Amino acid sequence: VLEVIAEAAQPRPRMLEAVDRIREAGLRVGVITNNWVSKDAGWSSLAGRFDAFVESAVERIRKPDPRIYRIACERLGVVPDECVFLDDIGSNLKPARAMGMTTIKVSDPDEALAELSEVLGFDV
């Protein structure tokens, strides 16, 4: 089961391209990932691509616990209402929205990135 979950959690190339564009625009980008110590789905090799990389396996808390969102904000040096949070699971969006973050559900990556482009005011 963990192998199947790990395969499903692979980073999406189009999303990583957007991360690069966002950082090139001078904005900070972070990740909150619910992962396992031995099954990081390749995320650890991507950590340097982000300004903050928050792993549930390290923090010992998982989304949707609001504490993990606060940790990400602290590491990014931002307050929640300065953040846009994307996730493919609706229950993970609720605490972020309650904290003041703009939230985008990622059902289709292209649609989510179009919405993100609208929020940010430039094409990602």
Write the DSSP string, 24-36. Answer: HTT---EEEE---
Q: Which positions ≥6 away from 100 have C-beta within 8 Å?
A: 79, 80, 81, 83
pLDDT at 8: 47
Q: Domains in the chain, start-ordered, CATH in brackets?
A: 2-120 (3.40.50.1000)
16 backbone dihedrals φ, ψ, rounded to 5°: -65, -35
Conformation bin of residue 105: beta by default, left when phi > 0, alpha when psi is -120 to 50: beta
pLDDT at 13: 87
pLDDT at 1: 35
pLDDT at residue 25 greater than cutoff 90: yes
pTM (two decimals)? 0.86
Better pLDDT: 10 or 12: 12
pLDDT at residue 3 greater than cutoff 80: no
> pLDDT confidence of 106, banded at 50, 70, 90?
very high
In whole angstroms, what is the distance from residue 62 CA to residue 72 CA? 12
pLDDT tens string 47-102 = 888 999 999 999 999 999 999 999 999 999 999 999 999 999 999 999 999 999 99
92: tokens are 């993970």
Compute CA distances 111 → 17, 27, 114, whole Å: 15, 21, 5
